[in-house]
Structure formats: structure tokens, C-alpha cells
Amino acid sequence: MLDNVRAAVAHRPKQPLDIETLSLDNLFPGEVLVEMKAAGICHTDLTLFDGSRAWTDYPLVLGHEGAGVVAETGPGVTSVRAGDHVILGAIPECGECPACRSTRLTNLCDTFFKPYPRRPFSLDGRPVRAFVELGTFSSHAVVRETQVCKIRSDAPLDVVCCMGCAGATGLGAAAFTAQVTPGSTVVVFGLGGIGTNVIDGARICGATRIIGVDTNPAKEKTARIAGLTDFVNPKDIAGDLVGHLREITKGGADYAFECVGSAQLWTQAVECTRIGWGTAVMVGIPPSSHETIAFRTRSILEGRRIMGCYIGNVKTRSQLPELVDWYMDGRLSLDQLVSARIPLEQINEGFAELKAGNVLRSVVQF
Ligand code: ZN
Ligand code: ZN
């Protein structure tokens, strides 16, 4: 039992997070105690307390992007031990279910969809939920071994913490899910933390033209460092955006990535790809998973392909280390993703900066 755990807790929607002192339960078999070193502030966390998503399970420790050091392991844990540097993953990799064992393209471990009723955090004896069973905005966390990825110890945790969500989602969408081919033309909708990593991934795959679409002109600079070749601000386009994108790509892009989570943008992402082999990949998460999206039936009959992924289809434990190697080999622009490093006490300011579009990622350091 740990008693002095400092964590950012959402108690109800449309209220700032409170910094609370929580307790953490002893380890169950298969669980790991992680001393958190750094955690990235992602837009998905924001939607869980700003009222834009229907969420009722409060109190809630937020945070699903994080890196730290293993402090203790529970019975039966074999893949990590005390002192190991780890990145936490929102999607478990049990290694045993049909999805984990398959060589097909998916990271959707069966256990991700099974309720895990454990509530290791508590506040004054009352159990506290952890978002995606992680809760990385906390000095310590008890998580399942299947959500813990051991990484090389020379990787800076205050940067590679962003691999858990933004890095894996963007890089994986381009390199694992779409498998962008050399010489391709790519359109990326939304140039935030995810979009920037899609650009990195597309560039590594050999895309020669990468067009970014965003209404915030301040996003152009960082996207160019990642590999953007053309910036399109929809506000500057006189006619329709899809027509413009088709024109500058001479008939349509080979790949389009929607990184915002907007049904309207998703339609445009499909329609801006070329006939025959254009591939549209849904990366952003809409506020409601029941939202419907529309496009012309002909768009599909014309041979376009539609794909989607959570966390880029990157398997948490077996595939994240390779992405860390990409960073350590100097192939990624991940350093610039971390716009600010802040203490836990400033987390609400970090969310405000993200909402205002002033930062790609603020990283909470413990
Ligand atoms: Zn995220
Ligand atoms: Zn599995």
C-alpha cells in the first residue's frame, strides 16, 4: 500500500482537475507498480472532463501517455523487473489471444474489450477509476503487465513518454496501418501531436509530397520540421477544399489521414484520395463512437480503401521498442512535439494551452 500518491483527478465534468493525495493498493498477480517520470497531455484526456464526451465514471485519474521506472512487480510478472524503464500503453498486449498471436494487422488485444474491474487508486477509502486502466497523471500507478512496455534505458523518458499515444498513433497509422509506399502523395488533416507524427511516419516511409490541412497557421512550422511539403489552410481556399486538394495532387492523394476526429473532415479525407488505390485512414477519435459518416457510394466503387486504427495498430509491448529506436536513431522530430515541461500542479494550465492550440504536447514531469 502506498499512501502519498499525487495525482490529477477529475471529479465531475466541466470542472478543472484537482491535485489529490491518493492511496495505491498492493499489487495483484500480473500487476506492476510504476514510478511515473513523465506524462503527455493528450486531447483525449481533455474530452473526458471538458464535457465534450459523455463520461460518467468519476472520480477519474486521467492520463494515458506516460513513461516511468518499474518500482515493484507482482506475482507472475516476467517481462519487466524493478528498475526497468517502461512506456505505458492504453491497449494491452496479452500475447495469447487470437489478435495478439495473429500476424495480421491489429493491436486490438481481446482483453482490451473485457472489463477490468480493478481500482488500485483510492481517495479516503473510496475507489478511483484510472482512465484506460493507466492514470498516468499520477506519481505512481499500478497497471497490468500487459500494458507495460520495457524500453532501452538510454531513451529520455520526458520525450518518449509521448510514444505511448501520439507517437504510436501517428507513426503507426502511416507506417503500420496504411504502409505508405515510397514516392506517395499524402494529405494529413489536423497538424497537432498525432498529425505531426503521421508526417514523420509518412516521410520515413518515403512519401515525397506531404500536404497538411489545418485552420491554425501556427501549426505549419512544426509540421514542416517533421516533413511537411505543402500547407493548406481551409480558410484561405476560395472554392471547396476537396476540389483544391484534388487539383494540387493532380487527381487525388494516394493516402489521406484524418487526425482530428471530425465526421465532416473524414468525408473530405475519403473524397480527396485518388480513384483506383486512394487510401483514407481514420486516426482521430470523434467525441461519440456512434456518430455516422457519409461519403458517396461511388467513392468506394472507384476502388478507394478505408481504414482505421486505435493507437496506429501498434502492439504495445512488442512493437513500441522499435519506434523508440527510430527516435534514438534521429529519424523522428519527436523532440519538437514537447512544447513545454510542467509540474503536476500546473496541469490545468497545460490543458488550457492544448485547447488554445498553443502547444503540441505539454509533458508533466514528476
Ligand atoms: Zn492520446
Ligand atoms: Zn491479446
Average pLDDT, integer, range 321-350? 97
Give the residue-averaged pLDDT of 258-273. Answer: 95
Considering every ligand atom, which ligand is closest to the CA of 64?
Answer: 1
Half-sphere exposure (CA, 13 Å, Cβ side) for 132? 23
What's the pLDDT at 290? 84
> Which ligand has the nearest atom to the CA of 89?
1
Residue with cell 510504476: 34
Predicted pLDDT of residue 286:
86
Return the C-alpha cell found at 60.
Answer: 477519474
Closest C-alpha among 6, 294, 2, 262 to residue 135? 6
Predicted local confidence at residue 180, as pLDDT: 98
- pLDDT band of residue 357 (cuts 50, 70, 90) is confident
Distance in angstroms (rounded) separating the CA atoms of residues 194 and 162: 10
Q: Do residues 334 and 200 touch, judged by C-beta distance below 8 A? A: yes
Residue whose cell numbers read 512487480: 73
Residue 51 alpha carbon to ligand 1 centre in Å: 17
Report the half-sphere exposure of 165 (CA within 13 A, side-chain side).
25
Centre of ligand 1 to C-alpha 70, Å, is: 22
Q: What is each CA distance from 198 to 134, 159, 176, 188, 246, in whole angstroms?
A: 24, 17, 11, 7, 20
Taking 90 as the threshold, does the pLDDT of residue 90 lie above it? yes
CB 317: neighbour CB atoms within 10 A? Answer: 23
CA–CA separation, 186 and 208 (whole Å): 8
Q: Which set of grid coordinates corresponds to residue 302?
A: 472507384
Asked if residues 25 and 74 have their Cβ atoms less than 8 Å apart, the reply is no
| Residue found under cell 512544447 | 339
CA of 100 relative to ligand 2 center, distance in Å: 4
pLDDT of res. 155 = 98
Residue 230 backbone phi and psi in degrees, to 5: -135, 135
CB-count exposure of residue 14 (10 Å: 0-12, 13-18, 19+):
exposed
- Ligand 1 centroid, distance to 268 Cα (angstroms): 23
* Ligand whose nearest atom lies closest to the CA of 91: 2
Residue 293 pLDDT > 90, yes or no? Answer: no
- d(CA 301, CA 298) in angstroms, rounded, equals 5
Q: Which residue's entry shows cell 483544391?
A: 244
Residue 240's pLDDT is 94
Q: At residue 258, does pLDDT exceed 90? A: yes
**Residue 292 has what pLDDT?**
87
- Percent of the chain, pLDDT > 70? 100
- Residues 113 and 55: beta-carbon distance below 8 Å: no
Is there a contact between 151 and 87 (Cβ–Cβ < 8 Å)? yes
Contact criterion met (CB below 8 Å) for 133 and 143: yes
Instruction: Name the residue type at position 9.
Output: V
- Mean pLDDT value across residues 151-157: 98
Pairwise CA distance, residues 11 & 56, whole Å: 10
Q: Strand, coil or helix: what is 78?
A: coil
Query: Which ligand has its closest atom nearest to the C-alpha of 136?
Result: 1
Asked if residue 53 has pLDDT above 90, the reply is no
The candidate with the shortest Cα–Cα distance to 10, out of 68, 64, 63, is: 63
Instruction: Look at residue 123 in the predicted model and tell me its pLDDT.
Output: 97
Output the pTM of the full model: 0.95
Indicate whether 221 pLDDT > 90: yes
Ligand 2 midpoint to CA 177 (Å): 18
Would you say residue 172 has pLDDT above 90? yes
Give residue 46 CA to ligand 2 midpoint distance, Å: 28
The residues whose Cβ lies within 5 A of ligand 2, an ion, are 94, 97, 100, 109
- Distance in angstroms (rounded) separating the CA atoms of residues 41 and 193: 10
Return the closest-CA partner of residue 63 out of 350, 355, 356: 350
> Can you name the residues that pair with 220 across neighbouring β-strands?
none
The mean predicted confidence, pLDDT, of the chain is 96
- Ligand 1 centre to CA of 46 (Å) is 10
Q: What is the mean pLDDT of the segment spanning 100-117?
A: 95
284 closest CA partner among 258, 265, 263: 258
CA of 190 from ligand 1 middle (Å) equals 14
52 pLDDT band, cuts 50/70/90, is confident
**DSSP string of 268-284, one letter each residue:** HHHHTBPTTT-EEEE-S
Q: In angstroms, what is the span from residue 200 Cα to ligand 2's centroid?
A: 28
Give the model's pLDDT for residue 233: 98
pLDDT at 54: 85
CA of residue 112 to ligand 2 center, whole Å: 8
Whether residue 213 is predicted with pLDDT greater than 90 in this model: the reply is yes
In sign, the C-alpha dihedral spanning 304, 206, 284, 59 is: positive
Contact in structure between 90 and 105 (CB atoms under 8 Å)? no
How far apart (Å, rounded) are the C-alpha atoms in residues 225 and 336?
Answer: 8
> Which stretch of DSSP H or E encloses residue 123?
strand 121-123
